[in-house]
Chains A and B, each alone.
Chain A
Amino acid sequence: MITQALEGDEAALLVAQLFDHYSDAIFAYLFRLVGNRDVAEELAQETFLRAHSARQRLSQALNQRAWLYRVATNAAFDHLRRGRRFAWLPWSRVDELHAPQPDVAEAANQRDALEKAFQALPIDYRAPLLLHSYDGLSVREVADALGISEGAVKMRLRRAREMFRRSYNPEKQNGGLP
């Protein structure tokens, strides 16, 4: 059936290529934004589904990577606004004990200092820092991905770095000026 999806549809093939190249990176970015593997996967899927549905336009986009990150960012913010950083279990139809453990266990497992430092950043600073320093996007690409100006990207990066420096390595915090 994949053959049907791709047959005669170069744009669909492009989406498939983008999926192969970027699905892990997009997932990792989303995971660090929303802090939950299942949600990140859902959002990653949504990102690529949107890419697929907009594939004709996407194939003409100058920077498909930035396009994907923008869609992913919007999907993440859209999710976060619901305030469901943790998918709390409802008292389910069967028995709450039968459901998997809540996602917070996964959050608790993020023991290494880097992940904690990421999570300590407010989302609108975390996103540009991840895109720039982890995913290697240019200022222009980050601006495109986040829908903000290039000047705002630089400013947020500086503040994000200051916050990251404090949270990642507290003993180095001197409270003084850079």
Chain B
Amino acid sequence: MRRHTDYENMVAAYDGLTPAERRELDAHLAECAACAADLAAYRQMDGEIRSARALKASAGLRVRFSEAISGATAAIPAAQVARPAIHEPVIRKPKRQRAPWTWSRALVPVGFLLLFALAIGLSLPRGNGGRSADVVVRPVAAPPNQAEIVKLRFACDTASAFSNIGEWSKVIIAFEEANPDIDVVIDAPLTGTDATSYQKAFEDMAERDDVFCAIPSVSDWQRGLVANLGPYIANDPEFNPDDFYTGLWRPSRDGEVLSVPTYFRPLLMKYNPELFDRAGLPYPQPGWTWDDFLNAAKALTVREGGEVTQWGYFETTAGTLTVRLRSDLGAGLNSLPDYATAANTLRWVEKLYVDEPAAPAEPMRRSLADGKFNMQPFINMLNDGKIAMSNIDMRSDREESRHLAPYPDSGYGILSSYFSDLVMSGKTAHPDEAWRLLSYLSRHLPDGEVPARRSLAEKASFWQRLDEPSAAAYRYALDHLSAQLGAPLPDGYEHYQKAAVAVALGEKTVEQALADLDAQVTLRGGRTAAAAGVVDAAKSAQAETPAPAQTVITETATATPRAADDVATLEFHCESLLAYDGLYQVIAAFESENRDVKIHYLPVSVPGTDEASYQAGMAETAKKADVFCAMPGLTELQRGIATDLAPYIAADASFQPDDFYPGALRTLAENGATLSVPTYILPTFISYDPKAFDAAGLPYPEPGWTWDDFLTTAVKLTQREGVNVARWGFYEMGGAVFTGRLHAGWSMDAQTPPDYAEVERILRWYEAMYARDRGAAIPAALSVASGERISATPLERLLKAGKAAMWNDGGANFMSEAGAQTAAYPEPNQGAFFGRTGELVMSGQTQHPDLAWRWISYLSQHLPDEGIPARRSLAENASFWNGLDESSKAAYRYTLDHIAPVNVRFGEEYQHYLDAVIAVAKGEKTVEQALADLDAQVKLRRGS
């Protein structure tokens, strides 16, 4: 027999049900209008969901994947850049097919081959797929002269970053047709996410590829990783370096040309003209000043009750700050500002980010710390038109509500971000051919981004995507690009930058930052010049550790580095903690404090639906996971599935087992073993509607009230209309409270059952509550369990209709908005029968028991602030208290202080007691009959 909730769940999954389930649900739908309406709504929802954008992976995915498998090193993720430098060729463009290779192309001829084989009545031998694919890729005719063909390798992250690797393939095919003596192999580009991995990727590509995309430095040239292109350019009449936009052509100070630009993006900001109109402000104009910017940002920031509801400026990185600081360096970008200028700029920073901020500093903090930042509120504000200026795209329902504008005049022109340049490896064996490829690519870049060459940009399609104000901003930018892009910044600039960041983040006052800066570097026309030795020391220290302003980075960077093989990975399987968003931060914090451990978290539960399958599931999980969430028993300890944690607890001074609420730390009485460590607890409460109590003139339930108080109150609160019940004194769907009275007769360790007299009292209570005076309805769960057909009205629906004065909704807070309050369980009790979530178990088979314990101990002490932690120290400061009224707080406090040992195992005879009270509650047996039967079954203990 299904509960109605089951049908509701099935409706939500209608199209995914088995035919048998669907037939059953169809029968229910014929009788249940609410479910039928839900199904109709869900159908419509699915139609809308299926209309979502069809997203396509870039061709680069195909390239990288094929590269990886053809390297016969199957499971190498792309993110792992530290792969062997030499790879087998990946893609031979099918010259005679004139199109980029795809899996589909490879497989179509396989299909033809199969059809052909069928047509001629042959059966294709097994394993022939490879040979058939061979036919595709191998040139149909032999190359003219293998000895004359030079093979070049090319890799470019710019090419793969914009989903246009296919277009690049076309360019390369065209190049090969124009240069029949050269065969180009496209490699997957290697990339890095930080300076170290980037450098490694760079070096690997220099070894592997003849031409690749990167941003080289002079030292890369000095180390022979890249070639100086100057001599080739001088001898190539087609190349024309004057064609590049000002500033994008960046020879080194000594004139070497180490790279050739591909695309770029002028640095423009976006603004919402509607907000400017509303505030009566002029739009940002070319030539506006940084003070104009600050004033506009201030005027456009709106606060309501101390909370910012509209930001004047928002950006995701410290980009604006960078532009602002550069403007102090002069047109040559070659010297630091003077003291007064620096002071002025730092004050500007303070006004923008700190003093009644007009821009939030938090994204900058996160970008510097590589941390997690909840962007969603800002995304929502962008979409809702609540951000006036930004460095990221503003999208709202109205496309015209976003325009582009240049940043305030920086004195040196518009800065630009640019993509990886084309470079030639300093190690290529075929420099002339490599130059021909590089030159050709530079002049035939696929259309897409903004090309660095004027001749290409003028006919590029990106203009068509711009509205008129944005196109005007672009034109201005292209005509005013800084001539100093990529120029080396003056010595000490990083200190200036960090001083500004420290001010922006509120970590230093302007005066502190200036004083520190003045001690670190020599400001132009300097007020005081630091001794050269001090500056040098500061510089070398800078190379090792970030500035103090970047607190988070400092902690990370100064932790003891360890060799990779010193790092152990712990498998942590726990589904129940997945819902706790803060878990990821806890893992990250643990890993940063414990550099020798990585946590590999899988949100999976121990499989199993009954005791036997659950035990089997735990055994399986223990083989894979070092730590997992489960409810093991002594059996699991004896079978080596779980580890006794008692010795670890005893040896861990930080753990403090007394910190747990009584009974929350699950202890087996038999041998003192501790099989698991709790994280959160779910105490059970009774909820009540104070209005019903007021109307009946009854006092609210007080902590410490008794089961008899509960009975009397429930009976008084029950309202009848004839034979029907208009309102139940107490109602629950499950059976926690129902069984609570029975459990209250046991000893607190659940080991000693009630004696004869107590059993009789218990049975009479059930008789009065459920069968005779009927203060409470038989829990639906018990009816369902006994196979009865019941009217399984969902509890929340019943509560909305005002049909219960007290209830137990298992903590769902169905009536939280209706002023429902929380009461503790009646006394005596077996504690509140709380559930637990995320009970941490150490596998008996872990290879890293000490590390596994370290993680268990840490997690139990650093739980995300959600729910009710099992530790008193965490619970006392937890936010769950915030939503509670005073009486509910009292109920919580009482309950948490009165939790009995959790390991409530009533023994094998328990079921007979439960059967007896159910029979009495349902009126199937008198108290006397039930007593006699029970006595015959379990031989009741005769008390005094």
Are A and B co-members of a single complex?
A: yes
Contact call B75/A27, Cβ cutoff below 8 A = no
Beyond A111-B396, A141-B16, is A7–B130 a contact (Cβ under 8 Å)?
yes
0/1 interface trace, chain B 592-608, chain A, CB 8 Å (1 if under):
00000001111111010
Contact call B15/A23, Cβ cutoff below 8 A = no
- Say whether B564 faces chain A, with CB atoms less than 8 Å apart: no
- Residues of chain B within 8 A (CB-CB) of A62 are none
0/1 interface trace, chain B 244-275, chain A, CB 8 Å (1 if under):
00000000000000000000010100000000
- Residues of chain A within 8 A (CB-CB) of B316 are 86, 88, 102, 104-105
A98 to B319, CA, bound (A): 11
Q: How large is the interface on B (under 10, 10 to 19, 20 to 34, 35 or more residues)?
A: 35 or more
- Residues of chain B within 8 A (CB-CB) of A148 are 575, 604-605
Contact call B57/A27, Cβ cutoff below 8 A = yes
The one of B34, B45, B70, B77 in contact with A178, judged by C-beta atoms closer than 8 angstroms, is B34
Contact call B76/A176, Cβ cutoff below 8 A = no
Contact call B418/A84, Cβ cutoff below 8 A = no
Contact call A133/B49, Cβ cutoff below 8 A = yes
Q: Which residue of A lies closest to B11 (CB)?
A: A158
- Say whether A116 faces chain B, with CB atoms less than 8 Å apart: yes
0/1 interface trace, chain B 817-845, chain A, CB 8 Å (1 if under):
10000000000000000000000000000
Q: Which residue of B lies closest to A130 (CB)?
A: B49
Contact call B609/A149, Cβ cutoff below 8 A = yes
Contact call A41/B69, Cβ cutoff below 8 A = no
A7 to B61, CA, bound (A): 22
How far apart are A49's CB and chain B's nearest CB, in angstroms? 5
0/1 interface trace, chain B 98-111, chain A, CB 8 Å (1 if under):
00011110110010
How far apart are A162's CB and chain B's nearest CB, in angstroms? 9
The one of B74, B161, B800 in contact with A49, judged by C-beta atoms closer than 8 angstroms, is B74
- For window 32-63 of chain A, which residues contact chain B by CB distance below 8 Å? 32, 37-38, 40-42, 44-46, 48-50, 52-53
- Among the stretches B193-201, B718-726, B880-888, the one at the interface with A is B193-201
Beyond A90-B193, A107-B375, is A3–B138 a contact (Cβ under 8 Å)?
yes
Contact call A111/B130, Cβ cutoff below 8 A = no
- For window 122-155 of chain B, which residues contact chain A by CB distance below 8 Å? 126-127, 129-131, 133-134, 137-138
Total residues of chain A contacting the partner, CB 8 A: 107
Q: Which residue of A lies closest to B133 (CB)?
A: A6
Output the residue of A10, A77, A93, A151 with the most chain B CB within 10 A: A93
Contact call B75/A50, Cβ cutoff below 8 A = yes
The one of B53, B61, B104, B199 in contact with A41, judged by C-beta atoms closer than 8 angstroms, is B61
- Residues of chain B within 8 A (CB-CB) of A74 are 602
- Residues of chain A within 8 A (CB-CB) of B101 are 2
How far apart are B124's CB and chain A's nearest CB, in angstroms? 11
Q: Which residue of A lies closest to B600 (CB)?
A: A78
Contact call B198/A93, Cβ cutoff below 8 A = yes
- Say whether A138 faces chain B, with CB atoms less than 8 Å apart: yes
- Say whether A173 faces chain B, with CB atoms less than 8 Å apart: no
0/1 interface trace, chain A 79-107, chain B, CB 8 Å (1 if under):
01111111111111111111111101101
- Residues of chain A within 8 A (CB-CB) of B9 are 151, 154-155, 157-158
A153 to B6, CA, bound (A): 12
Contact call B392/A42, Cβ cutoff below 8 A = no
- Residues of chain B within 8 A (CB-CB) of A37 are 58
A37 to B66, CA, bound (A): 19
- Residues of chain B within 8 A (CB-CB) of A165 are 41, 45
- Residues of chain A within 8 A (CB-CB) of B395 are 108-109, 111
- Say whether B379 faces chain A, with CB atoms less than 8 Å apart: yes
Contact call B130/A101, Cβ cutoff below 8 A = no
Contact call B584/A108, Cβ cutoff below 8 A = no
Output the residue of A24, A81, A164, A178 with the most chain B CB within 10 A: A81
Contact call B50/A133, Cβ cutoff below 8 A = yes
0/1 interface trace, chain B 749-772, chain A, CB 8 Å (1 if under):
000000000000000000000000
Q: Which residue of A lies closest to B129 (CB)?
A: A13
Contact call A124/B585, Cβ cutoff below 8 A = no
0/1 interface trace, chain A 1-36, chain B, CB 8 Å (1 if under):
111111111101101110110011001100110000
- For window 64-94 of chain B, which residues contact chain A by CB distance below 8 Å? 64-66, 68-70, 72, 74-79, 88-92
Contact call B800/A104, Cβ cutoff below 8 A = no
- Residues of chain A within 8 A (CB-CB) of B265 are 101
- For window 524-541 of chain B, which residues contact chain A by CB distance below 8 Å? none
- Among the stretches B279-287, B366-374, B850-858, B904-912, the one at the interface with A is B366-374
- Residues of chain B within 8 A (CB-CB) of A133 are 15, 45-46, 49-50
Q: Which residue of A lies closest to B134 (CB)?
A: A3
Beyond A5-B72, A80-B584, is A107–B317 a contact (Cβ under 8 Å)?
no
- Say whether A64 faces chain B, with CB atoms less than 8 Å apart: no
A132 to B68, CA, bound (A): 31
Beyond A41-B60, A100-B417, A108-B392, is A157–B372 a contact (Cβ under 8 Å)?
no
Contact call B56/A49, Cβ cutoff below 8 A = no
Output the residue of B57, B79, B394, B604 with the most chain A CB within 10 A: B57
- Say whether B936 faces chain A, with CB atoms less than 8 Å apart: no
How far apart are B502's CB and chain A's nearest CB, in angstroms? 14
Beyond A49-B76, A85-B372, is A78–B601 a contact (Cβ under 8 Å)?
yes
Contact call B215/A94, Cβ cutoff below 8 A = yes
How far apart are A119's CB and chain B's nearest CB, in angstroms? 7
Contact call A24/B56, Cβ cutoff below 8 A = yes
Beyond A45-B78, A90-B193, A154-B9, is A10–B126 a contact (Cβ under 8 Å)?
yes
A2 to B69, CA, bound (A): 8
- Say whether B393 faces chain A, with CB atoms less than 8 Å apart: yes
A171 to B138, CA, bound (A): 60
Contact call B372/A83, Cβ cutoff below 8 A = yes
- Say whether B673 faces chain A, with CB atoms less than 8 Å apart: no
A82 to B599, CA, bound (A): 10
Beyond A88-B317, A101-B392, A165-B45, is A46–B370 a contact (Cβ under 8 Å)?
no
Q: A111-B396, A119-B376, A133-B49 given. 17 additional CB < 8 A pairs?
A: A1-B88, A6-B106, A8-B130, A20-B107, A28-B54, A46-B77, A49-B68, A52-B74, A74-B602, A81-B587, A88-B373, A92-B198, A100-B419, A105-B316, A129-B49, A151-B9, A165-B45
Listed A/B pairs (9) with beta-carbon separation below 8 Å: A1-B90, A2-B91, A6-B106, A8-B130, A82-B588, A86-B375, A89-B317, A124-B579, A157-B12
Pairs of residues from A and B, 8 with the lowest C-beta to C-beta distance, nearest first: A7-B130, A154-B9, A158-B12, A27-B57, A83-B372, A28-B55, A53-B74, A1-B70
